Chain A
Amino acid sequence: MTGFAQGLLDALLRDTHLITPQLFLMVVATLMLWPGDLFFNRNEKHRWAPITLVVLAITAALIGRTPDGEGFSRMFRMDGLTRGFEMLCVLGAAATVALSVKLLNGLKQQTVEYYALILFSLAGMLFLCGASDLISVYFSLELMAICIYILVAYLRDRATSVEAGVKYFLLGAFSSGILVYGISLLYGAAGGTTTNLADLNQALALTPTTSNLLVFSGVLMVLMGMAFKVAAVPFHMWSPDAYEGAPTPITMFMATAPKAAALAAFLRVFGAGLHGVSSDWVLPLCYIAGASMILGNVTAVRQESMKRLLAYSSIAHVGYMLLGVLSGDPRAGAQAVWLYMLIYIVMNTGAFAVVIYLQGKGEGERIEDFKGLGRKHPVLAFAMMVFMLSLAGIPPLAGFFGKFYLFKLAIEQGFVTLTVIALLTSAVGAYYYLGVVKEMYFREPEGEAVPMGATSVFVVTLACALVLVATAFGPWLVDWASKVTWV
């Protein structure tokens, strides 16, 4: 007995270095809640934001230093895919924190919990990026999601925020149930011996034909659960409402970091674990991807709220990224998705920073409120135009390169019809993105120009510069993307 305990302890100690970033995040977040919170009085809570940013920077450094490896009974693995997507999550979280300060100050809602929850949920995402077992996929998803449920409902005196949180929570819990049920079916179909993705892949290949239906139902349910997490059609119902109701930085957070983590899990579960039974999920996933592109883009056209527009457009972008998951070559798929996600996070951060800035100025988040921005704030409007055109995938902006790699891969893998749908719907996308440009440049402004806040300027300018730089240095991005791989 002591031998077993000793062995367990040794194994834990041996593998702990793989999850240093996560442990660091959880320890720091706990310390922030208590006793850290005692150091600042009510009016000084905004100081948590820079501290959180420093924590995130350290986390990024730790992720960079963590060596490749597998541990915890092969529940978690650190490899190129994990590292790449973890970095994306940290990037998304950092952008969120940077943009939160002003808004929360304005609302007098600065609390340490806000930042601690972001860190906890980030820890969940980092686990999810490296989860190599259906069980660890499930619990990291939950850790990530539960924190976000709370963050969505963070402005608790606002009915819309609470409604969004409840809606997200109920549907999220429901989808988790489906996911768990799917996992249990797969576990049963594979002989009740393993939930490890690599082993599962082998075990499922050996299942007798009589259990085909069992495997199929399991795969389908896992697919549904995962599609729910990335908000792909027809499991997207929660996302526009949650996006609209949540505090805007959290909307941005939901559109970036958790999506990156969930896509990493998507890639690993389907690319590694269920690769052998791809005939079961390729067709449904094709329909999901196609429907996401069509519905996301077409519905976005009619939105009046900028946040809803970005929500629907993010459904469409997920549709594009699912093309990478579909790829018969999971490594190339992961690289294309990673590159797309990286560019998407930057563009989206920029666009949200503009929205947040306008909200901070007491203006609304409706598209109409962008009226005449080109006159009032030439810099801001120019940056927004770059983000919109880049999101629309107009060359030579970075967004085009992201799309190009994805679509190139999809055509290579033979998904021609789906790619044609993707391209034509992205032309539809250009319509509503240009609608925003139209409001900014071709409508006369109302009211006077107001000076901009320093953080927003910084984030907007940085994001705009990144999009433009990425445009010029496409090849480097590709080199980076080629490191996102796993054995």
Chain B
Amino acid sequence: MFTANTTLMLVATFLPLLGALVLLLVPKDQRRVFEIGSLLVMIVSFLMSAVFWFGYDRASDAVQWAQAWNWIPSIGVKFSVGMDGISLLLWLLTTFIGPIAIACSFSAITERHKEYYIWMLVLQTAMLGVFITQDMFLFYLFWEVMLVPMYFLIAIWGGPQKLYAAIKLFLYTLAGGVLMLVAILAIYFLQHKTTGVYDFSLASFHAMAPVIAQQTKTYQILLALAFFIGFAIKVPMFPFHTWLPDAHVQAPTAGSVILAAILLKMGTYGFVRFLLPILPDATKMLLKPFLILSLIGIIYGALVAMIQKDMKKLVAYSSVSHLGICMLGLFALNPYGIKGGMFQMINHGISTSGLFLAVGIVYERRHTRMIADFGGLSKSMPVYATIFMIMTMSSLGLPLLNGFIGEGVVLMGAFQAFPWAAVVATLGIILGAAYLLWMYQRVMFGPITAVNEKMDDLNLREVLYFAPLVVTAFWIGMYPKPIMDVMDAPVRKLVEQITPGYHAAQSLAAQQAVAAKLGMQGMTAPAHHEEAAPAGHEAPVHEAAAPETHGHGGGH
């Protein structure tokens, strides 16, 4: 029963929705039932999903556990599901964050429990659905469905400006989503024109890439922009980020956690899954502006975070900066960059969730998030201070913790493709260390006030929901290979889709480099001096030229 197969995948995905339907029947004063019930559902769903981590065939780049049922045959819509390594990682991240988000709400949510937990469960299914679908129509469906529960979560249980924040989130994302829909339909009809079939499947959209590449430049650029805006709003990239601070600050803690850990990843996932493989040429045409927006996001997010007085707002702007690094990695369009970007998504999901949870802890105790109201907390809350420290360090990229690996790999990729961009990004990372440490210093150290002295340290429940995050942060930081392995084959395929022949060229360059090295050795060797010389002359030229062209291949 518990082998990784399509049925189990669907069960794990739809279990939260089922749980929500069951909870609907429970009378609304049964607070405990909702809390424990939804937690159990999330944990079971996570355990089921964990099976897939072990069952995933890391050598294959195919969509695994794929299956499709006809849904609306007349227009070619299938209920088509399956996962490759990229979706699997984000899907697992979602099931992993689910129980944590529920557990952190027990004391934070003080009214309307029934609705709250039901909406959380519905949201979970919608998010999981986005990652398993292999059909564009279904993808759009899940993408938009997600908005409704999120809207309610913010608008009912949020802060003072909740209504404004909720509607802003809703409308921004909806506007982006409909542009994406236009682009999807445009490709759908282009496909019908060229192949004569109506098909919404993701694979057929990927197969359209060469056809799209032959269309006019304007057409391609418009398509790419429609996708770009849709996803960039969700990520969010500068200048589409203005909904994010509002939504984060107003949302309840669990809402912020889910928003940061998963909803933002939908945007980056969209880039990886749709924009890059379907419109590689248009992406390359627009690469410079895309990169510049990512870099602005990195620096701007960091600078704005620096001056925040509200801890939650600070973490929210740090998200803008970190997601900028993700995007930089993806737009490097080489294996290191994309892997690093993917990695950074997962890291951001873990460390930023941790930070939001940490902010939520003090907010629950003091009902304020202003940095100025705190100080010296490390004395009254030592366990909290330690966990906060780990999360801060993980977020700013300290070696041995997860953030370091992601940022390191992104910078490697970016440096290969655009050295100048990597330099700017490094600056953002330094700023990141500055604002996070500065916040930590102001909150944790210094003189302690009477109120803060009386604050309780973490209770068992709180330690328990931080524990998985801390463990994972260390695990990824010390041994990232398993995660790298999972995305190895799909990223390889993706890079090949973006730049056909990339790997062949790379391995050729590597061979030439080896040959050159041998030639050099031959040169220095006393015997065979005459024979080895010509090879030694030619090979360095190749060695210098080959990475150069590939590195800049994306830029033109």
Contact = CB atoms under 8 A, between A and B. Distances in A.
A188 B158 CA distance: 67
B34 interface: no
Contact of B175 (A416, A427, A479): A427
A442 B72 CA distance: 37
B211 interface: no
B475 interface: no
Given A395-B141, A475-B74, A426 B178 contact: yes
Given A478-B72, A478-B74, A416 B140 contact: no
B171 interface: yes
Contacts of A408: 75, 185, 188
Interface in B58-98: 71-75
B182 A419 contact: yes
Contacts of A395: 140-141, 144-145
Contacts of A442: 155-156, 162-163
Main secondary structure of the interface of B (DSSP, over half): helix
Interface in B364-411: none
A431 B168 CA distance: 9
Contacts of A377: none
Interface in A400-436: 400, 407-408, 411-412, 416, 419-420, 423-424, 426-428, 430-431, 434
Interface residues on A, range: 20 to 34
B527 to A, nearest CB: 71
B18 interface: no
A394 B144 contact: yes
Interface string A439-466: 0011000000000000000000000000
B4 interface: no
Contacts of B181: 407, 423
Nearest to A413: B189
Contact of B167 (A400, A412, A434, A478): A434
Contacts of A482: 74
A366 interface: no
Interface in B150-191: 151-152, 155-156, 162-163, 167, 170-171, 174-175, 178-179, 181-182, 185-186, 188-189
Contacts of B152: 441
Contacts of A74: none
B148 interface: yes
A434 B171 CA distance: 10
B72 A430 contact: no
B42 interface: no
A474 interface: yes
Nearest to A405: B75
Given A475-B73, A478-B72, A482-B74, A438 B163 contact: yes
Nearest to A428: B171
A265 interface: no
Interface in B208-242: none
A327 to B, nearest CB: 13
Nearest to A430: B174
A395 B155 CA distance: 20
Interface in B461-510: none
B151 A434 contact: yes
A474 B138 CA distance: 13
Given A416-B182, A423-B182, A430-B171, 6 more contacts: A396-B141, A411-B186, A412-B185, A423-B179, A438-B163, A475-B72
User: What are the nearest 5 A-B pairs in CB distance?
Assistant: A423-B178, A427-B175, A395-B141, A475-B72, A411-B185
Interface of A: 389, 394-396, 400, 407-408, 411-412, 416, 419-420, 423-424, 426-428, 430-431, 434, 438, 441-442, 474-475, 478-479, 482
20 contacts: A394-B147, A394-B148, A395-B140, A395-B141, A395-B144, A395-B145, A396-B141, A400-B144, A407-B182, A411-B185, A423-B179, A424-B179, A427-B175, A430-B174, A431-B167, A438-B155, A441-B152, A441-B155, A442-B155, A478-B72
